[in-house]
Structure 1
Amino acid sequence: MAEQKIDTNELGEKIVKVLKTIYDPEIPVDIYELGLIYDVFVNENYDVKILMTLTTPNCPVAESLPQEVEEKVKSLDMVNDCELELTFDPPWSQDLMSEEAKLELGML
C-alpha cells in the first residue's frame, strides 16, 4: 500500500477554516479576515508554525488568543504540532483587513 500523502495545501485550507472560527473579542470579525495571521508554515512532518500579531501589544487577549489558535490548530487530525510566534513587526493596521472584514465593520 502506498504511503498516504497529505496535500499541504489541503491542510493549509483546513488551518484557515479553523482560524476563521476564532474571533477578536473587541471586533466582531475573525482573526484571519482581520489580517492578524501573517503566515502559516507546514513542514513535511505536519508541524505547523503560525506567525501572527494582535491588534495592539496590550490587547486584553494577548495571553489567551494565541493559546486558542495553537490549541484549535493542534486539534486538526493531520497536524502533528503547532508553534505560534507572536510578532508586532510590522504592527497591525486596518490596511491588513480583508475587504470582507472592512465591509462587515462598515468601513467600505
Structure 2
Amino acid sequence: MNASELRDKVEETLRTVHDPEIPVNIYDLGLVYEVKVEEGSKVRVTMTLTAPACPAAGDIIFETQSKLEAIEGVTDAYVLLTFDPPWTRDMMSEEAKLELGFL
C-alpha cells in the first residue's frame, strides 16, 4: 500500500471515531487538524477536542490510537492532542453542520 492509499485508509478510519456526546465523527467535526503518513508507514495525527475539559477526551484519544494501530500496513501510529488553534464550529464539514442542525 502506498502513502496515498494509506492516507485514504487513515481518513476512512478516523471517520469511525465519534465523540460520544455528538453524533458526528471526529473527522467531519473538524477535530483532525493534520494526517501525516511518514516513511515506513508511520502515521501521525494531530487533533483537538471540542473543549479542553471534554469528559470523553481519554476515550476518544484511546479509540483513535487503537484504530490507527489496527490499520493493515501501519507500522506505528501517534496521536498528538493540541488546542492551538482552538476548535470552532466553523471547522466542521458541511455534512456535519447539516446533521447537527447548524445550517
TM-score (norm 1): 0.92
Displaced runs of 4 or more, over 3 A = none
> What is the rounded CA distance, in whole Å, between the counterparts of 2:23 and 2:58 in structure 1?
19
Corresponding position of 1:94: 89
Give the deviation of 1:9 after TM superposition: 1.0
Q: Structure 1: where are the runs of 5+ without partners?
A: 1-5
Query: Is residue 12 from structure 1 mapped to residue 7 from structure 2 by the alignment?
Result: yes
Matches of 1:42 and 1:16 in 2, distance apart? 11
Deviations 1:37-70 (A, max 9, x none): 0001111111111000000011011111111101
Q: SS of 2:27's equivalent?
A: helix
Alignment RMSD: 0.7
Equivalent position amino acid for 2:29 in 1: L
- Partners of 2:31 and 2:11 lie apart in 1 by 12
Matches within 5 A, 1:1-108: 6-108=1-103
Bigger Cα Rg: 1
Equivalenced residues, count? 103
TM-score by length of 2: 0.97
Gaps (5+ residues) in structure 2? Answer: none
Identical-residue share of aligned pairs (%): 50
**What SS does the aligned partner of 2:4 have?**
helix
